[in-house]
Amino acid sequence: MTNDNPGWHGTTILSVRKGDKVVVAGDGQVSLGQTVIKHTARKVRRLAGGQVLAGFAGATADAFTLMERLEAKLEQHPGQLVRACVELAKDWRTDRYLRRLEAMMIVADAANTLVLTGTGDVLEPEGGVAGIGSGGAYALAAARALMDTQMDAEAIARRAMAIAADICVYTNDRLVVETLEAS
């Protein structure tokens, strides 16, 4: 994104894995420069028949393109999230069109949580927590601090996202939260 064009900016996506659950939460704010365009965008979705959670940050059209590609990889490799993500990352790095996409994703199934980046990285976060987007670092820090409490994964995600919304002007408190039972 260039500084000449305000562009679509900001979001917060957080994943928390604790106990028998994994949660992916995303805020609903879409901003253009300093203007809030929408408060209730849905940046967290279920893929693969509901067995995979995916949250995206970045350019919306780019993120939808990546989700469609990931869905196709999941159809080719059912039940193999890591393999599907690695195959997507290979395409992302080698395809001229995909290389220009400006988006990141957090994806999770019952056993794995992964962060997919625009450089073709497939990263497995430590400690069961991952955050991306403009408020991702705030949500990540808050969630890590809450992991030692009695709170469950969803409560941690909701509290951490509220903290991020209080700090990041590109994050709001209108959340979409999806949960899976972990294996």
**Could you report the average pLDDT of every consecutive run of 10 residues in the chain (183 residues)?**
44 96 95 88 94 90 83 95 93 67 88 88 94 95 98 98 96 96 75
For position 141, what pLDDT does the model report?
A: 98
Residue 152 falls inside a structural domain: yes
For position 95, what pLDDT does the model report?
A: 66
Rounded CA-CA distance 143/87 in Å is 30
Residue 75 falls inside a structural domain: yes
Number of domains in the chain: 1
Residue 149 falls inside a structural domain: yes
Residue 38 falls inside a structural domain: yes
Residue 178 falls inside a structural domain: no
Using the structure block, give the residue that is written with the tokens 């991952």: 130
User: What are the helix (H) ranges across 23-177?
Assistant: 60-76, 81-94, 96-99, 136-146, 153-167
* CATH (domain of 16): 3.60.20.10
The yes-or-no answer on residue 113 being catalytic is no
Residue 182 falls inside a structural domain: no
CA distances 117 to 17, 31, 99, 147, Å, are: 20, 21, 11, 25
For position 79, what pLDDT does the model report?
A: 94
For residues 104 and 115, the answer to whether their CB atoms sit within 8 Å is yes
Rounded CA-CA distance 66/104 in Å is 9
Q: Which residue segment(s) compose the domain that 113 sits in?
A: 8-172
For position 6, what pLDDT does the model report?
A: 40
For position 67, what pLDDT does the model report?
A: 86
Rounded CA-CA distance 174/52 in Å is 22
pTM, two decimal places: 0.91
Residue 183 falls inside a structural domain: no
Residues with Cβ within 8 Å of residue 68, at least 6 apart in sequence: none
For position 180, what pLDDT does the model report?
A: 97
| DSSP per-residue codes, 71-115 | HHHHHHSTT-HHHHHHHHHHHHHH-HHHHT--EEEEEE-SS-EEE
Residue 181 falls inside a structural domain: no
